[in-house]
Structure formats: structure tokens, C-alpha cells
Amino acid sequence: MNIAFILETALIILVVFLVGAILGYLIRCWFFKPQVAMTPSSTSAKPAAPSSPIADRSKATPPPAKTPPPAQPSAPPPAALAPNDTEDTESEASLITKPATQAEPKAAEMVADEAGKDDSSAKPVGLSEPRNGQKDDLKRIKGIGPKIEATLNELGIFHFDQIAEWSPASIDWVNGFLSFKGRVQRENWLEQSKALASGGETEFSKRVDKGAVPSSKK
């Protein structure tokens, strides 16, 4: 009787233990299941490449400072030109293209005027007096006023045909003598003189004949 009671009690305890163990396992698996978050980044992440000693060395050591290039030796000053070197220098200078400016023509006119003034052989041939005692009204030429007309008369220039026959050298001489600096060419004295000498008229001469030019009145 006692033995049967003991066995029955032991069996009940064993059953209860097994049931408790099973329930405990199920509860632990249900409530305490490990959760691992799987993200795309974690699955596709690649292990970082080991840093090379060369890259570490380049980060740690600063780049060497750049040294400035050696100074170029300055060009020696041009040697003084001998008298025979003038033509060669001018031929080389003519190869250099310079922009056209207004100052250069004026300078060239001044040189031509001074050269003509010094050349007495280029002086236009004048008359001792007007032909038939009647001089032309040189004020009908644009650019010639009473003072310039008087100066031309002193040089023996009284008629349009005299001005129309001036050579380039004579023009330069007159420019230099009157300090006009190319005014004879700019105001076309020769063209106006040729038209007036042939009996024609110019727009300016018409205005003078009408008395519309105060500086050209007698």
C-alpha cells in the first residue's frame, strides 16, 4: 500500500515536471525568440578594404612645397647702332604691324612740312605782279582767308592756275612755310584751284560770291 502510493506520487511529479518543461520551452521560444533586423544595406555591405601602408603614408606626410622656377636672365640692352646698321633696323621695323592712329599721319605731315620748308628748290615759282594787273580772289578757295591770301601774294602767288600747278614738293614747302601741317592736302586746294582756273565754281566759291562767308569778304 505504501509502495503503490509512493510510485503513484512519483509518477504524478514526473508528469508535472515534463509538462512544466514543455510549457517552459514553448514560452521561452515564443516570447524570447531572437529578432535580427535584415536590411538591404546590411546584406549588401561589403567589408572595408584594408588600408594600404602607401595610402596611410601619403595622409600622414604633407606634400613637398613647390619651389619657384629659376628666374630667366634678362635680355641684354640693345647695343648702340653703328651708322651702317640704320637701313637694316628700318627694314626690320617695317615688318612690325602698328595700329593706325590719328597721331601718326599728323606726325608724318609735320616731318614733310619741315622738310619742304628747308628745301628752297621746292619753293613754288611766283610772279612779280599779277597778270594784266588783276589777281584772282584766292579767298574763293576753302581754307584761304584774308591773311593767308596776303601771305601767298607776298610769295608771288596771285592766280588759281599757279596753285593748281604746285608739285608735291611745292605743297610740302607751302605747308611748312605757312605752318599748315598738311592743310593744303586736307582742304583740296589743288582741286579747287583747277576748277576755278577753268572758269568753274565750287560750293564754297558760290557761298563766297553770295557773301555768305564772312571771313572771305573783301
Give pLDDT tens digits for 140-155.
Answer: 999 999 999 999 999 9
Cα distances from 74 to residues 68, 125, 175, in angstroms, run 17, 58, 46
Q: Crossing angle, helix 103-118 and helix 168-178, to 10 degrees?
A: 100
Task: Dump pLDDT digits (tens) for 165-177.
Answer: 999 999 999 999 9
Task: Dump pLDDT digits (tens) for 192-202.
Answer: 999 999 999 99
- Nearest residue to 158 via CA among 144, 178, 143: 144
Q: Distance from first CA to last CA of the chain, Å, rounded?
A: 177
Convert 156-169 into a string of H (helix), E (strand) and C (coil). Answer: CCCCHHHHHCCCHH
The structure's pTM equals 0.47
Taking the C-alpha atoms of residue 195 and residue 149, their distance in angstroms, rounded to an integer, is 18
Q: Indicate whether 104 pLDDT > 90.
A: no
Cβ density class 63-83: b for 16+ within 10 Å, e for less: eeeeeeeeeeeeeeeeeeeee
Give residue 2's pLDDT.
75
Summary mean pLDDT of the chain: 73
Average pLDDT, integer, range 205-218: 85
Give residue 83's pLDDT.
41
Taking the C-alpha atoms of residue 192 and residue 175, their distance in angstroms, rounded to an integer, is 17
Give residue 17's pLDDT.
86
Give residue 28's pLDDT.
81
Q: What percent of the chain has pLDDT over 90?
A: 39
Give residue 186's pLDDT.
94
